[in-house]
Amino acid sequence: MRIHSEDSLWIIDQYNVIDKNLTGKLYSKPGSISNLRAADIYIAPPEAVKIEGNLLKVSTENIGKVDYKIPDAIKILGITGVLLLFLLTISGG
């Protein structure tokens, strides 16, 4: 999850929601996250985000918006078709 608040960005994993609080471990390798596996969480105000050691905590009441990407169905079908054609070609069928 990517946590946004104004100009700040934190990336967390191993997250959970307990008692209206989102808590997650700060992720140390931000470049390795796929856009298709990430959600963007927008928090206001920035002071609502609390960092304690390597944990980020924020009240769910401060979440203003959540975005996540859904792969384009046409792209998925196109790629699947190409892969099936390739597999049929190399298998001799």
Global pTM value: 0.68
What is the per-residue pLDDT for 85?
Answer: 77
List the domain boundaries for the chain.
Answer: 2-91
What is the per-residue pLDDT for 73?
Answer: 61
Please list, residue by residue across 30-58, b when 16 or more beta carbons sit within 10 angstroms of its beta carbon and e when fewer do. Answer: eeeeeeeebeebebeeeeebeeeeeebeb
At 25-63, the pLDDT tens digits run 998 775 666 665 678 999 999 999 999 999 999 999 999
Concatenate the DSSP letters of all residues of the chain into one string.
Answer: -EEEETTEEEEEEEEEEETTEEEEEEPS-GGG--GGG-EEEEESSGGG-EEETTEEEEEGGGEEEEEE----HHHHHHHHHHHHHHHHHHHT-
At 72-86, the pLDDT tens digits run 666 667 777 777 876
Taking 90 as the threshold, does the pLDDT of residue 71 lie above it?
Answer: no
